[in-house]
Amino acid sequence: MGKPTGFKEYPRTAEPYRDAAVRLVDFDELYTPHNEDHLGTQGARCMDCGVPFCQSGDGCPVYNLIPEWNDLVYHGRWHDALDRLHKTNNFPEFTGRVCPAPCEGACVLGITSPPVTIKNIENAIIDRGFEEGWVTPQPPSSRTGKRVAVVGSGPAGLAAAAQLNRAGHQVAVFERADRIGGLLMYGIPNMKLDKAVVDRRVDLLRAEGVTFHVNADVGRNVDIGKLIDEHDAVLLATGATEARDLKIPGREGPGVHLAMEFLTLNTRSLLDSNLEDGRYISAKDKDVIVIGGGDTGTDCIGTALRHGCRSLVNFEILPRPPAERGADNPWPLYPRIYRVDYGHAEAATRFGEDPRVYSISGQAFIRDSSGTLTGIRTAKVDGKIQAIPGTEKVWKADLILLSMGFVRPEHYINEALGLELDERGNFQASKQDYRTSVPGVYAASDCRRGQDLVVRAINEGREAAREIDRDLMGSTQLP
């Protein structure tokens, strides 16, 4: 806990983002510099709640020792706070930036008052750790002689690689893209997670002994059978990369793109040439519609605004969430309430209003005689997501981005292996041991359980590493 009476004395005050009008002209991170005095005061709000729901159950998926490092920050013991943070989370610089903070939704203080600013404090601890030089490579003291291949370099793959390397195994990570990081590199835009932050952690892992292979598409240009033969274990952490599409009339043709295509090309061009090579889908001077809410939809909004779109609308098929928790959404469940994320605030700054339109569904994309996209026809929907007759409307658009989530992993690896799938098309593997139906092959995170949060991916990567280590060595000391 922090100060015994801190939760009564100090109001919640989150660290602000940079001013929306200023940050819209660049792809630099949203965040403002940390104020340690302010964060100490916020840490003081952590109360002696008895049972810290923030760090377990419906709270933190990696079981961060949140009250402990809140207390340490309150007392100015930042290095000790970093040590406690790293005990449960390999990459707090990622979660401190992009996690939606279910821990704050489960904060006991949040029952009657605004919760502790847990995410801000976490981010500040790790940022100071890097600034002070406290985060250094920690290679294992000895090697086991075992070799493990990790397929996919997103948060699950990197977490598993870090843990398996720590146990002394020789770990090789295979990534089909041209840069390491998976979702962290190309699925989350630079203003939310600067790619130098990702590269910094990858460089640490490399210095600790992990090897990385890019442009290595396992199941295509890398033979999965050979990979299994050459390693004592293989972990599939490929993500759930098959996007949910919108199969309505007019889908085929230019102007309609999946969100990940839009975001990936933008980030790659940004890193390669600061967007000067033109090898991305530009929203400049276009009427843009983003279909689908959530974090990825917001990222599409923010990216399109930075390109200089002419107009922007965001469709959400569900009704607008309530301002407060509903009766069916009690504490400590994650609060399903109305929020204004960074992209919504930026759109309001640029165009004068929140871009979201609720309870709406696309019926047909509209194209002219040459096949050029000109808009979309929609209808309002009821509580059962059924179109309401007489509510049809045509919206002007020459760029439509589909951000409706992901349905399953791509299947070319499992088809080559004959690996069993679950009823949703995910790689079949138990959370108890992460083993697939193919001996020596394991699966973790989104490819095993379906699309989920970065923090849950880290959790599954760590747990899978523990089970792999147990199988290889007969026992394990990994947490």
Residue at 55 is within a domain: yes
116-135 burial string, b = 16+ CB within 10 Å, else e? Answer: bbbbbbbbbbbbbbbeeeeb
Residue 430 buriedness (CB in 10 A; 0-12 / 13-18 / 19+) = exposed
DSSP 450: -
* DSSP letter for each residue of 291-341: E--HHHHHHHHHHHHHHT-SEEEEEESSPPPPSS--TTS-TTSPP------
Which two tokens mark 254? 């230019």
210, 162 in Cβ contact below 8 A?
Answer: yes
Residue at 222 is within a domain: yes
Which two tokens mark 332? 């400590």
Check whether residue 173 and residue 263 sit in a common domain: no
The SS3 of residue 91 is: coil
Return the amino acid letter for 100: P
pLDDT for 363 equals 97
Last residue in a domain, options 379, 404, 429: 404
Check whether residue 393 and residue 457 sit in a common domain: no
Return the amino acid letter for 188: I
Query: pTM of the predicted model, to two decimals?
Result: 0.96
**Closest Cα to residue 200, out of 171, 186, 215, 180?**
180
Check whether residue 52 and residue 185 sit in a common domain: no
How many domains is the chain partitioned into structurally?
3
Q: Which domain holds residue 101?
A: 6-131
Residue at 1 is within a domain: no
Last residue in a domain, options 131, 157, 186: 131
Check whether residue 12 and residue 119 sit in a common domain: yes
Query: What is the mean pLDDT of each successive set of 10 residues along the chain, which is 479 residues long?
Result: 89 97 97 95 93 92 96 97 97 97 96 96 98 97 98 98 98 98 97 98 98 98 96 98 97 97 98 98 98 96 98 97 94 95 98 98 97 98 95 98 97 95 97 97 97 97 98 97
pLDDT for 1 equals 74
Cβ-Cβ contacts under 8 Å for 14 (sequence gap 6 or more): 117, 120
Check whether residue 122 and residue 70 sit in a common domain: yes
Residue at 290 is within a domain: yes
Check whether residue 212 and residue 287 sit in a common domain: no
91, 158 in Cβ contact below 8 A?
Answer: yes
Residue 390 buriedness (CB in 10 A; 0-12 / 13-18 / 19+) = exposed
The Cα–Cα gap between 193 and 264 comes to 13
Q: Count other C-beta atoms under 10 Å from residue 474's C-beta.
A: 7
pLDDT for 267 equals 98
Check whether residue 286 and residue 374 sit in a common domain: yes
pLDDT for 3 equals 87
**Closest Cα to residue 309, out of 289, 329, 326, 291?**
289
Last residue in a domain, options 389, 404, 419: 404
Check whether residue 326 and residue 275 sit in a common domain: yes
Check whether residue 339 and residue 442 sit in a common domain: no
Check whether residue 371 and residue 252 sit in a common domain: yes
Check whether residue 237 and residue 250 sit in a common domain: no
* CATH code of the domain covering residue 12: 1.10.1060.10
Q: Which residue has the tokens 């600790």?
A: 208
Which two tokens mark 48? 């002696």
* DSSP letter for each residue of 267-303: HHHHHHHTTTT--S---TT-EEEEE--HHHHHHHHHH
Residue at 479 is within a domain: no
Check whether residue 352 and residue 466 sit in a common domain: no
Residue at 376 is within a domain: yes
* CATH code of the domain covering residue 206: 3.50.50.60
Return the amino acid letter for 189: P
Residue at 68 is within a domain: yes
> What are the residues facing 408 on neighbouring strands?
242
The SS3 of residue 151 is: strand
The SS3 of residue 31 is: strand
